[in-house]
Structure 1
């Protein structure tokens, strides 16, 4: 798979908040937890863990909503203050990471999910590819997802 030439950009629905992703994410995967279903309004959301220093907030004001996730861990959800589009969250247990919502990228053609987490919470009609890295709940480690992304892209982690 070919990655785009970084940096790439994205933003919220109304265009007020813009950001730049400076390098490849650590992985791309689907999250089927109830939080992602509620926040995205879909059966899952596409998560992209990125190192905090590789995400540049360019414009617009963010609103934050701190909550306890399905995993029991604290997260800070980040939204556009104007249109309330969900852009990323910051896991309190991993302050060096930002969990970017891939759907907020200007182009996500290259953001191929390599796995699924919280498969025990998936909606009944979703089929999970058993060849992917799949986890029934919150992974104790994202390393298998990172390794699958490295294998797919042929690029070493930053």
Structure 2
């Protein structure tokens, strides 16, 4: 069981299943959202995710691939918690920094690498995609 939540503790969640993938996204939107060189998203089956405290606020934005992404965050402290690629999607992506236990970056799949910042080193053996990988 993995658990996590926002910085102020108003929102908590749990996820029963193992992750499908860990993405290090180098797109400009993830850099803006994370305030860092890339964003980390922990993809899990939607059915295994459960909100245990609080009520997040939702904001939607278009993605570089032409989709609409639902972004859920704490209305009190602003911590981005998870993304929903659409109502019919069987998966969500938890923002890995909101997990209580840190993730192992050695398993990360690097996406939108054509937008990566100069000087960001990606391990040679890491799976990489210049844009968004096909489903």
Counterpart secondary structure, 1:134: coil
| 2:80 alignment partner in structure 1 | 86
Show CA shifts across 1:92-141 (max 9, x none).
27521111111100111446433200000100110111211100001113
Q: 1:129 aligns with which of 115, 123, 126?
A: 123
Q: 2:66 aligns with which of 67, 72, 77?
A: 72
| 1:139 alignment partner in structure 2 | 133
Contact 2:21–2:109 (8 Å) recurs in 1: no
Query: CA, structure 1 residues 110+122, in 2 after alignment: closer, same or farther (shift >3 Å)?
Result: closer
The farther-off stretch of 112-121 and 24-33 is 112-121
Q: What is the correspondence of 1:144-155 to structure 2 with a 5 Å cutoff? A: none
Contact 1:30–1:113 (8 Å) recurs in 2: no
Counterpart secondary structure, 2:24: strand
Q: Distance in 1 between matches of 2:111 and 2:34?
A: 15
Displacement of 1:71 in angstroms is 1.7
Alignment: residue pair count:
135
Contact 2:31–2:37 (8 Å) recurs in 1: yes
Q: Distance in 2 between matches of 1:44 and 1:70?
A: 15
Contact 1:46–1:113 (8 Å) recurs in 2: no
Q: What is the correspondence of 1:3-22 to structure 2 with a 5 Å cutoff? A: 7-22=1-16
| 1:149 alignment partner in structure 2 | none
| 1:147 alignment partner in structure 2 | none
Q: Runs of 4+ in structure 1 displaced over 4 angstroms? A: 109-112
Q: 1:118 aligns with which of 112, 120, 123?
A: 112
Structure 2: unaligned runs, 5 residues or longer? none
1:41 aligns with 2:32: no
Query: CA, structure 1 residues 71+103, in 2 after alignment: closer, same or farther (shift >3 Å)?
Result: same
Computed over aligned residues only, the root mean square deviation of the Cα atoms, in angstroms, reads 1.5
